[in-house]
Amino acid sequence: MDIDFIKNILPILLKGSVMTVELTVITIILGSILGILLALLRLSNNLVLKYVSNFYTWIFRGTPLLLQLFFFYYGLPFIGIELTPFTAAVIGLALNCGAYMAEIIRGGIQSIDQGQFEAAKALGFSYTQTMKRIILPQTFKVIIPPVGNEFISILKDTSLVSTIAMVELMRSAQQIYATSFDPISVFLTAAVFYLIMTTVFTTVFGIIERRLSVYN
């Protein structure tokens, strides 16, 4: 491997890594919001709402993320809807993430002692107040480990958006390789960037989990 060549490509890969992190953070935020909504629909007593939530998670968990990205970027233009690579990437990743987050959050809610629901009801809390003030705050503590795993999965899955011309770490590496024809140096360096990012965020979620456990 050419050390000087690696030094020269570091700024390009670093810029791609920043975009990878941005995509991941945006995805987990939007996916979490969507996941909360879908989880509450799934747990509602309304059969129609349950069906809508089940159908959504069935579609997005049952089809490949790559196919979903292709649909939003290459498919929608055929019905007159054209999206930029960034918009298509965010929509595809967020909608897919929402399906998985819904199951994580639903499991977290169901892990809370049923007695707390009954106590809140006895105190005159509405369903919304119970969820907002009592159940969801506890749920967020419970789901930190699986959310951390989902975050890492999304970070790695962002490499798929390179197939729709979105320039992030993987796409940056592919572009460098196309002109340098040095796959070992390029892709090993990209792999190091991915390992650094996953290690950092795994450590961060581990710290958050330990700190929250102190207050349990």
Higher-pLDDT residue of 192, 117 = 192
Query: What pLDDT does residue 214 have?
Result: 56
- Residue 16 contacts residue 171 (beta carbons within 8 Å): yes
Query: What percent of the chain is modeled with pLDDT above 70?
Result: 98
In this prediction, residue 145 carries a pLDDT of 92
Q: What is the pLDDT of residue 150?
A: 96
Question: Confidence class of residue 216 from pLDDT cuts 50, 70 and 90?
Answer: low
3-state SS, residue 124: coil
Task: Enumerate domains of the chain plus CATH numbers.
Answer: 3-214 (1.10.3720.10)
pLDDT single digits (tens) 192-215:
999 999 999 999 999 998 887 755
pLDDT confidence of residue 215: 53
Sign of CA dihedral 102, 34, 57, 125: positive
User: Which has more pLDDT, 73 or 126?
Assistant: 73
Judge contact between 99 and 60, C-beta under 8 A. yes
